[in-house]
Amino acid sequence: MSIIRVRFAPSPTGPIHLGGIRTALYNYLLAKKYNGKFILRIEDTDQNRYLHNAVSYILKSLKWCGIEPNEGFGYGGGPYEPYIQSKRSYIYKFYINYLLKNKYAYYAFDTNKDLEIKRNEYKKLGLNFSYDHRIRMSLNNSLTMTKENLIKKLKCNIPYVIRFKVIPGLVLKVNDMIRGDIKFNTNYLDDKVLLKSNGMATYHLANTIDDYTMKITHVLRGEEWISSMFIHILIYKSFGWAPPNFAHLPLILNKNGKGKISKRNLNYFKFPLFPIEWKEPSTNKKIYGYKELGYFPDAFINMLAMLGWNPGNNREIFSLEELVNFFSIKKINKSGVFFDKKKAIWFNKQYIIKNKNKIFLFLAKELKNRSILFDNNFLWKVIDLTIDRINFIYEIWDHTYYFFIEPDNYDKSFISKIKDKNYVIKNINILLNKLNFNSFNELKCIFSELENKKFFMKLIRFSIVGSLKGIELFKILEMIGKKQSIKRIKKFIKKIESQVY
């Protein structure tokens, strides 16, 4: 079998999102599994929507996700350079001449305005205008004019596009590795523009030529491309080329609205779309990505992989390496999927325990930033005691601060519940004298025979933590020790004493 070559071919018209990353991921997995090549090709044939920072964003995103290509744009040269379509015009020109010469394509001089008028006319009649075999002979193109007239027009630099001449009436069958055979009738195809009036190729031309010349064996892309696969097949046919294998991935859909996720209607979505932070060039507004929201890249990738693919059993947690191992196109699902934010959070939680070191480093940094001295062993103990309470790394401080610092403010709702402060002050002092703060078991023992113990435990928790949260109280007391415990309790008592009811 020849070497597998797959490509990820984003267009730099905006930030790459969830769906794009998943497409890249599946391509990556297939390439890695069979020791093939994963190629990055930039499809920048749309000059109007081109965004200058989109390319670097794509590169940075793939890097953060850990699914970097091993050939293509930004990854060194390769045998099929250049890997950016705006630099490949000369190649497209060569092939378009072949198409023209062999009557697979033709010049069309209809202006946008002409077509606009046509479209409106059709619309009024309740019809849909389509530049196709039925009407091409009534439009302003090289099929309907004399050779002399055509040459004259070309000499005068009248703007034109080159359109593909669809052969009608063919029923073709094309295999999709995920969906099986798909039949289509070329009658429904329109004569797609292959070369724009500005001399740039359109997606359809550039994509087919690039996939062929770059020896792409498998095309894994979103389901939205199924329709244009038909025209691509026809283009391959006219060149006499064998098309690559196709696999059209199910779309990730927007649950709270309608339609597929898209970079064109950002505000529409109730879940994060981007892998890393994106800065809107027009407004300079920053939009957080999964990275900034605290997701681990491996958790993010794991979650994405399971959105449309599964290994055929109940297992859900996979490292990237394991995904490579188990990946199979055959197990990719057909139907569109809705993103579930809660499940995404759950995925991240599964990676918290695997990333204990990172949590240690993060917490150590938090402490250093606050100029708090700490002991490494103590810190590890704290993390072990609290790690199962967090979903994201940044949450750790909120669950551990009380091991290091006194609470500086207290939740008012508890204090206001204390009706008889004299009773409290009297009893807490008796209690403090009895307690051995260095022994978890003794603490437990003394409290178990205490009258009104629930209240006093809450009170002590409150003075230590500042609110009614945190790990087992006796464990906290044991960890922070007698001196610190008593200090915090006394401070809180003072607060109660000064309180006017």
Residues 266-325 that bind RNA (CB under 7 A): 306-310, 312-314, 316
Question: Would you say 137 or 373 has its CB closer to RNA?
Answer: 137
Site residues for RNA, window 51-90 (CB under 7 A)?
none
Question: Would you say 65 or 477 has its CB closer to RNA?
Answer: 477
Given candidates 283, 433, 448, 498, which one binds RNA under the rule CB under 7 A?
448
CB of residue 470 vs RNA: minimum separation in angstroms? 5
Neighbours of 11 (CB within 10 A): 20
H or E stretch covering 442: helix 440-448
CB 177 within 8 A of CB 246: yes
Site residues for RNA, window 425-444 (CB under 7 A)?
444
Given candidates 251, 424, 489, 493, which one binds RNA under the rule CB under 7 A?
251
3-state DSSP call for residue 14? coil
Residues touching RNA: how many (CB under 7 A)? Answer: 86
Question: Would you say 65 or 195 has its CB closer to RNA?
Answer: 195
Q: Which of 332, 158, 367, 348 is closest to 252 using CA atoms? A: 332
In the chain the first and final C-alpha atoms are separated, in Å, by 84
CB of residue 153 vs RNA: minimum separation in angstroms? 13
- Dihedral sign from CA coordinates of 290, 295, 296, 300: negative
Q: CA-to-CA distance for 50 and 40, rounded, in angstroms?
A: 17
Cross-strand bridge partners of residue 107? 162
Binding mask 144-183 for RNA (x = CB under 7 A): ---------------x-x-----------------xx-xx
Question: Would you say 202 or 208 has its CB closer to RNA?
Answer: 202
Given candidates 354, 426, 469, 491, which one binds RNA under the rule CB under 7 A?
469
Residue type at 112 in one-letter notation? N
Question: Would you say 88 or 369 has its CB closer to RNA?
Answer: 88
Question: Would you say 238 or 348 has its CB closer to RNA?
Answer: 348
Given candidates 1, 2, 35, 48, which one binds RNA under the rule CB under 7 A?
48
Site residues for RNA, window 7-46 (CB under 7 A)?
9-11, 13, 43, 45-46
Binding mask 93-122 for RNA (x = CB under 7 A): -----------------xxx--x-------
SS (H, E, C) 164-207: ECCCCCCEEEEEECCCEEEEEEHHHCECCEEECCCCCECHHHHH
CB of residue 449 vs RNA: minimum separation in angstroms? 8
Region binding RNA by CB under 7 A among candidate stretches 94-102, 254-262, 282-290, 376-384: 254-262
Q: What burial letters (b/e) apply to 75-114, b meaning 16+ CB within 10 Å?
A: beebebeebbbbebbebbeebbeebbeeebbbbbbbeeee
Site residues for RNA, window 394-423 (CB under 7 A)?
none
Binding mask 337-376 for RNA (x = CB under 7 A): xx-x-xx--x------------------------------
Region binding RNA by CB under 7 A among candidate stretches 26-34, 267-275, 364-372, 470-478: 470-478
Given candidates 128, 376, 377, 498, which one binds RNA under the rule CB under 7 A?
128
CB of residue 370 vs RNA: minimum separation in angstroms? 22
Q: How far is CA 118 from the centre of its chain?
A: 40
Site residues for RNA, window 178-237 (CB under 7 A)?
179-180, 182-185, 188, 190, 193, 196-198, 200, 202-204, 223-228
Neighbours of 173 (CB within 10 A): 9
Question: Would you say 35 or 258 has its CB closer to RNA?
Answer: 258
Question: Would you say 388 or 497 has its CB closer to RNA?
Answer: 388
- Whole-angstrom CA distances from 14 to 55, 201, 276, 305, 340 are 9, 20, 13, 23, 24
Residue type at 338 in one-letter notation? F
H or E stretch covering 105: strand 105-108
Given candidates 80, 295, 470, 485, which one binds RNA under the rule CB under 7 A?
470
Q: CA-to-CA distance for 330 and 216, rounded, in angstroms?
A: 19
Helix locations, 255-375, DSSP H: 297-305, 320-326, 341-352, 356-369
